[in-house]
Structure 1
Amino acid sequence: MKNIIVTTALIISISITGFAQQGHKLAAQIMADKQLDTVYTKATALLSKGFNAGDGYPQVWIRDFNTFIETSCKVYSRDSIRTNLLTFIRLQQPNGEIVDGYVLKGHVTWNDPNIYTSPNDKSHVGFKNTVETDQETSLIQAIAKYIRVTGDKSILQETIAGKTALQHLEISISYLLKNRYSKKYHLLTGATTQDWGDVQIEGGAVVDVDENTHWAIDIYDNAMFVIALNDMAGFYKTGTERQKWLQLKTTTISSIRKHLWDAKKHKFIPHLYLDKSPFPASFDENKIYFHGGTAVAIEAGILSKNEIRLVNQDMLRNVKLSGAPSIGLTLYPIYPEGIYKNSSSSKPFIYQNGGDWTWFGARMIQQLIRYGFVKEAYEELQPMINRTIKDNGFYEWYGVDGKPNGSAAFKGSAGVLAKAIDQLKEWAKNN
């Protein structure tokens, strides 16, 4: 018996030593990777130029800003960043909602009949893609990230229109609970879009809710909600307010697991419809796998480590089947062309219907690192690093043919890549 115990202990010791050696080797490889340094330098150079989403987007969007604010805080004026965050609060509407973004008055470059104004900001006008339900949660997350990087908690006590910024954030959640919440399912609602996208499948007003809209519940909006609720709780050290947000977070995660997570297929269902689906009965939408929303769900802490492992395997399988360059693949299988008669958003592997977005793919890389899948993260990051260098830009999205599309200076792509590289370097330093 003693010999068996000794042998077992020796095997365990050898295994631990082997894993440690592999970790040291990977850490050395990461630290020596000059391509990571090149991309990081390019990313910080781009993010030092301001807050608009990209060269094709003169507006400041909160969903984009939220994904590159951490690196911006390292390379840009913190006072300017604080001012930009507070501008979203100054443009908050009387009903509590937060706009998607803003521009200076007189600088509107698109034909939008729904321009948002506020007596609290005389210099800017806002806009909002109402099919989405991530504006309020994006702002909360962005402010939380700003505080974590800068230590500037005073932003929460900035007074605007007689209320603190923190009170305005509370009001924004009240807006969601009143206008975008299903009491039946205890989850946020929105229009039917492709994964995290802000283009409704039915066409019509395209980015705005209209008579064509089919109301639904999806993982992206609700995962963003969970992250924001956790951040709200973090704004309070103790007290009933902190517990209120933590309880709502717990309820939301439980409802997500109950209504959206398919444990047998280890995937989230695309949509839970409040009334009826916009698709014909012959179309099985539940075959579609949403990559982006799943990555955000992992960030929200909704999945276990084993579920993350299975999800990553699924994403890699989808990438191989589709021919896409990376796990930034939005979704797979794609929505068939013409699946809804009024839709212009179902072209195969175009834009949000199967385009490959570093903006979300690198978020999955971040979570793989966070949960200990560092080898997988480093390997799966390579296609994004390689194409950034090859194409000399941070493109908005890629086709399955590997060709870049959209803005060539998309700050969202730069921000998520920079953060993933930071995480890899930090891991390597400690291993």
Structure 2
Amino acid sequence: MKSTTIYAFMAVCCLSFSAQAQKQDRKALAKTILADARLDTIQKKALKLLDGFSAGTSYSEIWIRDFNTFIKGSLKVQTKEEVKSKLLMFFKIQGNDGNIVDGVVEAAKAQGGYDYRRSDLLPGWAAHKNTVETDQESSLVQAVKQYVEVTGDQSILTEVIGGRTVLQRIEDAFSYIRKERWSEKYGLVTGATTVDWGDVQPETGWGVSINDKTKMAIDIYDNAMFVMAIHDFLAIAPKGYKTVENWKNIADQVKKNVRKHLWMKDAQKYRPHIYLNGSPFSKNFDEDKILYSGGSICAILADFNTSAEVAEINKQIVAAAGKEKYATIGMTVYPPYPVEEFPNMKAYLYQNAGDWTWFGGRMMGALLNFGMAKEAYEELLPMVDRTLAKKGFFEWYDVQNGEPKGSGNFRGEAGVLYDAITLLKNWAEAESKKN
């Protein structure tokens, strides 16, 4: 009995010592984060850039998937009225079936190869939709939630546009996904085959529009974005508001079906695609070996995974980045698709294993949600240092030579970094105040 008592006492002491050591480690990490001047510099530079709404110097459009990721920063430097007006533009040019466009642009600048639409509700503007994607509707709802969360202005929800309130139009957008981008067989959101969260399909030609060669599929990104959007909608909907469907139940079912059909338990990763009308790839190509970083990050944010799974997903993403000299966790996929399989985008080009802080930076919030602050800070720093070294915010980076590519003054990167640093600072400040 005596020896048992001694062992029990020793075990309690060890646990107490371990807990105290972990507390001290967290305190030290919090102090380091709050003292890191690089983070302050990035945020100041980001806010300076967020004085406009177009995606970057290469784009005239206001893209909703981009705007969704820099709206909080915008609200630091823009009036809430101006930000609100830009959000409402997407509802004013919403399709009759509820669909939401990708980008809105001044009519005089509508000179790309897109099939533009116009609306009497939005004079002087044109818009287009990349039909291979299924994230525009979800992105807009998430952006509205952020607007309400930051400003406290719920009047946007009851704004009447073309005889329908924004609340009704949000549900119209959800209903579009359920009718036009939905697999009854799997109970999941569908879209065209793209790389991870990308907007280009494999077949050569105009890659952003569904055509007779398109292979429809199910992926983790579209489904994670949809579930996050539903949660956001339910969080801001007024008490007592009667929805047209039981959206919570739909979100729960999507999560269940994601776990059933997309999560590969043995590999501890997400299957890139489930194909609905055949695969665009050769029979000998094993697509399941490819790791989808951006979609996996969104899945964590949608609360699809356990703590242990999040740690493993993060480990795999970090390991993939470690295989390329200049990569961070923002590298979209690994390994990249060979050009023989994806003629529209060569390996290491753009979304095919290009490095996007725009998505990698979202991992900080995902990790913090699971108590992984140390990993969040460590994985953010390479992106911070690169942004400072390149003296600007860029669309993506070449992992083979480290050079920035695509649009300069890319507001998506600026917004995501601003938000990631804010979350880390908030964690550090809360930790430093604990006894």
Q: 5 Å matches for 1:8-407?
A: 8-47=11-50, 49-112=51-114, 114-234=115-235, 235-238=237-240, 241=243, 244-340=246-342, 343-345=343-345, 347-400=346-399, 401-407=401-407
CA contact 2:364–2:424 (8 Å) conserved in 1? no
Displacement after TM superposition at 1:366 (Å): 2.0
- Equivalent AA in structure 2 for residue 9 of structure 1: V
Alignment length (residue pairs): 426
Partner in structure 2 of residue 422 of structure 1: 422
Distance, in Å, in 2 between the alignment partners of 1:185 and 1:23 is 43
Q: 3-state DSSP class of the match of 1:118?
A: coil
* Alpha-carbon separation, structure 1, partners of 2:347 and 2:243: 46
Per-residue deviation at 1:250? 0.2
Instruction: Normalising by structure 2, report the TM-score.
Output: 0.96
1:376 is displaced (CA, Å) by: 0.8
- Look up the equivalent residue of 2:315 and give its one-letter code: Q
Q: Distance in 2 between matches of 1:8 and 1:344?
A: 60
The structure-2 alpha-carbon separation of the partners of 1:243 and 1:21, relative to structure 1 and needing over 3 Å to count, comes to farther
Moved more, 377-386 or 202-211: 202-211
**Equivalent-residue separation in structure 1 for 2:341 and 2:5 (angstroms):** 68
| SS of structure 2 residue aligned to 1:396 | strand
> In the alignment, residue 69 of structure 1 is paired with which amino acid?
I
Contact 2:299 2:305 in 1 (8 A): yes
- Asked if the contact 1:52/1:60 (under 8 Å) is kept, the reply is yes
CA shift for structure 1 position 236: 4.1
State the alpha-carbon separation in 2 of the partners of residues 222 and 162 from structure 1.
30
Residue deviations 1:42-77 (CA, integer Å, cap 9, x gap):
011111x11110111111000000011112112211
- What's the secondary structure of 2:19's corresponding residue? helix
Q: How far has the Cα of 1:310 moved from its partner?
A: 0.2
1:33 maps to amino acid: D
Query: 2 CA distance for matches of 1:357 and 1:25?
Result: 30
Matched, 1:413 2:413: yes
Contact 1:53-1:64 within 8 A present in 2 as well: yes
TM-score, with structure 1 as normaliser? 0.96
Q: Residue by residue, what CA displacement relative to the aligned partner does 1:184-229 show, whole Å, maximum 9, x if unpaired?
A: 1111111110000001111232100001100101111110001011
Query: SS of the counterpart of 2:362?
Result: helix
**What SS is found at the alignment partner of 1:417?**
helix
Deviation at 1:337, TM superposition (A): 1.4
Tell me how far apart the structure 2 counterparts of residues 192 and 395 of structure 1 sit (CA, whole Å): 26
Alignment partner of 1:275: what SS? coil
Q: Please say which of residues 184-193 and 361-370 is displaced more in the overlay.
A: 361-370
SS across alignment from 2:146: helix
CA contact (8 A) 1:290 1:332 kept: yes
| Cα deviation, residue 111, structure 1 | 2.8
Q: Distance in 2 between matches of 1:414 and 1:268?
A: 28
Structure 1 runs (4+) greater than 6 angstroms displaced = none
Secondary structure, in 3 states, of the residue corresponding to 2:105?
A: strand
**Letter in structure 2 aligned against 1:274:** L
Q: How far apart, CA to CA, are the structure 1 residues paired with 2:290 and 2:124?
A: 43
Q: CA deviation at 1:351?
A: 0.4
What code does the residue aligned with 1:95 have? D
Identity fraction in percent: 44
| One-letter identity of the residue aligned with 1:384 | M
Cα distance change, pair 331–324 in 1 and its aligned pair in 2 (3 A): farther
Cα deviation code 1:392-431 (max 9, x no counterpart): 1011101112111111210000011001100111111111
Q: Relative to 1, partners in 2 of residues 1:131 and 1:306: Cα closer, same or farther, differing over 3 Å?
A: same
2:205/2:344 contact within 8 Å kept: no
Q: Distance in 2 between matches of 1:421 and 1:181?
A: 36
Q: Alpha carbon RMSD of aligned pairs, Å?
A: 1.3
